[in-house]
Amino acid sequence: MKLADTTWLQVENTTKCNAWCPACARNQSGYGLNSNLVVEDLPAARFEEVLKKLPNLNTIQFSGTYGDTMAAANVLEHINLALKYADKIQIHTHGGIRSQQWWTDLAGILKNKQHDVWFGLDGLKGIHEIHRQGTDFNKTIANATAFITAGGYATWQFIPWAHNEHQIKDCMRLSQQLGFKKFKFITSVREKLQAKHWQTGQVIEFKPWSKSAATNAYHLTPNRDNLKLSDCRHLKNTTVYLNANGSISPCCYLNVYRTAEADVLPDILTEIDSQPHPLCLQNCGNGVRIAHQ
**In the chain, what are the domain boundaries?**
3-287
Neighbours of 218 (CB within 10 A): 22
Separation CA 231–CA 239 (nearest Å): 13
pLDDT-based confidence at residue 217 (cuts at 50, 70, 90): very low
Pairing of strands 203-204, 195-196: antiparallel
Separation CA 263–CA 12 (nearest Å): 20
CA proximity to 272, closest of 213, 229, 218, 225: 229
User: Cβ(282)–Cβ(189) under 8 Å?
Assistant: no
Using left for φ > 0, alpha for ψ between -120 and 50, and beta otherwise, residue 6 falls in beta
Helix ranges, 165-267 (H): 168-178, 212-215, 217-220, 233-236
Separation CA 278–CA 228 (nearest Å): 14
- Tens of pLDDT, residue by residue over 75-108, are 999 999 999 999 999 999 999 999 999 999 999 9
pLDDT-based confidence at residue 257 (cuts at 50, 70, 90): very low
CATH number of 3-287: 3.20.20.70
pLDDT-based confidence at residue 252 (cuts at 50, 70, 90): confident
The answer for residues whose C-beta is within 8 angstroms of residue 137's C-beta and 6 or more apart is 121, 123, 124, 125, 126, 128, 129
Return the H-helix or E-strand segment holding 81: helix 75-85
256: pLDDT strictly greater than 90: no
Separation CA 288–CA 281 (nearest Å): 9
Separation CA 108–CA 114 (nearest Å): 12
**Which pLDDT does position 186 carry in this prediction?**
86
